[in-house]
Homo-oligomer: A and B are copies of this chain.
Amino acid sequence: MPSEISVRITGEAGQGTQTIGDALSHIFKSAGYHLFAYQDFMSRIRGGNNFFEIRVATKPVHAPRRKPDIIICLDKSSVDIHKKDLAIDGILIVDQTKFRLPGLEESMYDVAFNEIALRVANDALYVNSIACGLIAGLAGLDFAFVEQGIQAVFDRKSKDIIQNNLNSARAGFDLGLKNPRKKMFLLPVISKDRLTDKAGEILLDGSSAIALGAVHAGCKFYTAYPMSPSTNIMNIVAEHAAREHIIVEQAEDEIAAINMAIGASFAGSRAMTSTSGGGFCLMTEGLSLAGMTETPIVMVDAQRPGPATGFPTRTEQADLDFVLSAGHGEFARVVYAPGSAKQAYDLTMKAFNIAEKYQIPVIILTDQHLQDSATDAQAPDQDNTAAERFIISKEESAGITSYKRYALTDSGISPRAIPSWIQDVMYVDSDEHDEAGHITEDAEMRKQMVQKRLYKKLHGLLQELEQPTSFNTKDARVILLGFGSTLGILQEAALALEKSKVGFVHLPQVWPFPSEEMLKLLSGARMIISIENNAQGQLARLLRRETGIKVGKSILKYDGRPFDIDSVIEIIKRELEL
């Protein structure tokens, strides 16, 4: 009995691979399994080939496998594209009654989806629910969980539709139970205890995590220009807009977005914007403006492969260098690179607090893979995460009759007032300015202002580092190194090779760089391997620049696809001659 299975559902854009995926995720989550689900899709609305892959396991899982055990092909052309990816002993589920493809090997399991759908629910659309039921049957689940999952996903549909879906799922389920090879995929039953424990768990994907983080952090002004893979964050914030009194405004371009957000923040709202690399380019001047005017702002760069339009719906981690130095001139910034949906939520909350405390721009560097991947996670507890405002309160403001926006202080942070709250006026300027915010050309004032915006704030920020996550680094033979969405890969690879003295270090914050901690963690390493979704080993370069430590090897992937854990382990083993 395997402790995990991976299932891929593939078909054309518009065929509903994602709906099936969502339903399956809910079904397996109800049954108490851990799961990791991710998406691979093309930049088109109909046709082409997309897939959704879900890995279900009895212990937590965080990354894709190389070869799925089960592949369901919803259209004919999927078969050719995907059959080479099937695991040994895996099965390819195909509606041969419909496709009539010649020469398919025995790995194939013929399911007459179309006929069954028409028979059970009188509509070919129900193929999707048959597929869900089928997988659940193959995995040996209790049908009650299938019911729960279907109910959750079709929540807002009519009774009839739900019933049709349930009937279809049942039909698929029975087929799954009947499959002679089903033993290969039967998952161990989950204990009652775990089922009770998991009450507080939800399915969380990167986009939802960041959106919820923003909402819970008290973001009241959200503006962006649509751009994959960042758009979903705005969609989800928009769902909360009315209830939480958030202004959600679609900008005419990314330049408008960041400048609107800065204006809103200046006037008193917590403000955020999101985009991907190309849009981030257009925001860099605004980023620099936030630095100069010391206006707090939270930005998301959800990376996709570049340059230019690149692969709009795929993944990469190649904007690291860029976001570290984006915008002209020098000023303090923070760059977080969450490694999981949960971390994305936490760091989004933190981003708002740090941005406001230090009056700086904070960038959340994520990527398509993290945005579109879902796992089971502890539901965020909003009550625990009260947002602290680092501004002069309304009450206190009422008594202020003389105010300098850029008063020089030891910390570099000037008490921040909101216009109209205080009795005085305030001047904010993008030119170099004096303490009162008026334009100056004075050399000495300039020096002090640079020191304020750069050194002094950095000094404070170093006290609030989000420290690297690490595992098995002591006496390690190899330490794997990464940032952002590769956390799952690092975790699973190190765990799998724990006995061979493989450890990992993952950075959820890449700037300011946690140099001290990195020196501590890495100085004993015999070899460091950076694992990065880019072509230059950008993290490895940054590490060397900041600490002098040189990695021994970089495992780089830049084909727009995420790493899979099997390939990574294989490469490491080869490297270690294991």
Contacts and interface: CB of A to CB of B under 8 A. Distances in A.
Given A278-B328, A307-B330, A432-B311, A560 B446 contact: yes
Given A328-B307, A330-B318, A431-B311, A450 B284 contact: no
A331 interface: yes
Interface string A539-569: 0011011001010000000111100000000
A508 interface: no
- Counting from the closest, the 6 A-B pairs by CB-CB distance are A306-B329, A277-B328, A307-B329, A545-B545, A281-B285, A292-B308
B281 A328 contact: yes
A325 to B, nearest CB: 4
Nearest to A447: B559
A154 interface: no
Interface string A253-286: 0010000000000000000000011101110110
A446 B305 contact: yes
A178 B146 CA distance: 106
Interface string A405-433: 00000000000000000000000011110
- Assembly stoichiometry (copies): 2
Given A309-B431, A311-B446, A432-B560, A329 B277 contact: yes
Given A282-B282, A288-B307, 20 more contacts: A42-B441, A43-B431, A48-B441, A280-B328, A281-B281, A281-B287, A281-B328, A282-B285, A288-B308, A289-B307, A291-B308, A305-B432, A306-B328, A306-B329, A307-B331, A311-B441, A312-B431, A321-B324, A325-B326, A544-B545
Given A291-B307, A544-B548, A558 B447 contact: yes
Given A307-B291, A308-B430, A559 B330 contact: no
Contacts of A330: 306-307, 318, 534-536, 558
Contact of A550 (B282, B431, B548): B548
